[in-house]
């Protein structure tokens, strides 16, 4: 039975925070704004530069006070691009560790009784990093399939999206402006609408 008090935590990195968006909505804000559910409460818990390991360490303690018992608690996880960034000659987080981090968070989320959805990492203006991110995207999709959690793979679609590519190129090489985030939100919306309606 649907509950009147539906709450969603968007947990992730700078893309979740909407960095670069001159309208300060990002894709998470646009999804929430376009939801036909008056009782929806959305919390943005995106932190710039954070890897899946850093998010794994903080997500539960940040979500717990925002998703108390008695509400329909939801968590949207979205991260991974920072994991595939090379710093000091090596990637920040190995693919196997990234996969383990996601699997752990999904397990913890299920144990807590909250419903999860995962949005995959997007491409940036770095061909080498995009190859690593594409592998991570496939790994995340497999983990979500095994966990029975909806996974929105946006990497391939955004790789061929002219608006996303142009705004990332004109920005800092990673983050788009409002047009790119609008494209990402629309890619995510079909899965989101189905997921949030079933509350």
CA dist 185 and 193 (Å) reads 11
Q: In the prediction, which pLDDT does 59 show?
A: 98
Name the stretches of the chain with pLDDT < 70. Answer: 1-3, 37-38
* b/e burial code for range 148-157 (CB count within 10 A of at least 16 → b): ebbbbbbbeb
Stated pTM of the model: 0.97
The first and second tokens of residue 41, run together, are 């409460």
Q: In the prediction, which pLDDT does 1 show?
A: 39
What domains are defined for the chain?
6-197 (3.40.50.1110)
Instruction: Specify the pairing of strand 6-12 against strand 115-119.
Output: unpaired
pLDDT tens track for 38-77: 689 999 999 999 999 999 999 999 999 999 999 999 999 9
CA dist 175 and 31 (Å) reads 18
Q: In the prediction, which pLDDT does 36 show?
A: 73
């Amino acid at each position: 039975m649907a509950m009147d008090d539906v709450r969603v935590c968007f947990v992730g990195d700078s893309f979740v925070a909407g960095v670069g968006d001159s309208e300060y909505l990002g894709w998470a804000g646009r999804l929430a704004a376009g939801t036909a559910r008056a009782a929806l409460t959305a919390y943005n818990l995106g932190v710039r530069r954070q890897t899946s390991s850093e998010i794994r360490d903080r997500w539960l303690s940040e979500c717990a006070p925002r998703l108390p018992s008695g509400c329909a608690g939801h968590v949207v996880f979205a991260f991974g691009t920072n994991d595939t960034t090379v710093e000091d000659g090596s990637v920040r987080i190995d693919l196997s560790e990234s996969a383990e981090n996601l699997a752990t968070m999904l397990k913890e989320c299920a144990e807590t009784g909250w419903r999860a959805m995962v949005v995959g990492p997007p491409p940036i203006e770095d061909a080498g990093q995009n190859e690593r991110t594409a592998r991570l995207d496939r790994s995340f999709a497999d983990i979500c399939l095994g966990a029975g959690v909806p996974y929105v793979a946006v990497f391939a679609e955004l790789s061929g999206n002219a608006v996303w590519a142009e705004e990332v190129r004109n920005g800092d090489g990673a983050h788009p402006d409002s047009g790119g985030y609008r494209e990402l939100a629309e890619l995510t919306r079909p899965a989101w609408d189905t997921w949030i309606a079933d509350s």
